[in-house]
Amino acid sequence: MMRSAMALCFFALLSSADVLAADLKQHLLMAIDTPNGMAEGRLDGNMAEFFKAQTRSSAPVMVKVRTLKRFPTAGCARLEATLIQDGVPTQQGSAFPFAIRYEINLCRDGRPPTEGIDLDAASRVLPR
């Protein structure tokens, strides 16, 4: 339950213009830009604090991103992002490493690529 709620929060943050997700987005863009399609490092700033508040752990939040597929449009890819944190407490009083993994289609401009999207179908369900 915790994983799906956090995944929805991260997706909502990434798709917004909110600065809260700026550090995470930088890791995603770095993976798009690197020749090997990988990026990893420590997540800092407001996004890390948000994550720590959800997990109730003060341990650093690490992020690993890998490119699963590059789309024909330059600067667009399908990415797999994993957020990892040690020392997340359980209700029983122990602690464990917690990881959440999700995939996202992203272009450098912050929008999803249009490859594979049925724009006619999308226009019928999106508000005008």
Angle at 3 between CA 2 and CA 9, to 5 degrees: 90
Query: Tens digit of pLDDT for each residue in 77-94?
Result: 999 999 999 999 999 999
Query: Tens digit of pLDDT for each residue in 33-92?
Result: 999 999 999 998 888 898 899 999 999 999 999 999 999 999 999 999 999 999 999 999
| Burial (CB count <10 Å: 0-12, 13-18, 19+), residue 27 | buried
Alpha carbon distances (Å) from 38 to 59, 63, 121? 23, 11, 33
Phi and psi at 75, nearest 5°, equal 80, 15
Q: Pairing state of beta strands 76-89 and 61-70? A: antiparallel
Has residue 3 got a pLDDT over 80?
no
- Angstrom distance (rounded) from CA 22 to CA 17: 9
Quick one: pLDDT at residue 46?
Answer: 85
Residue ranges of domains in the chain: 2-125
pTM of the model: 0.73
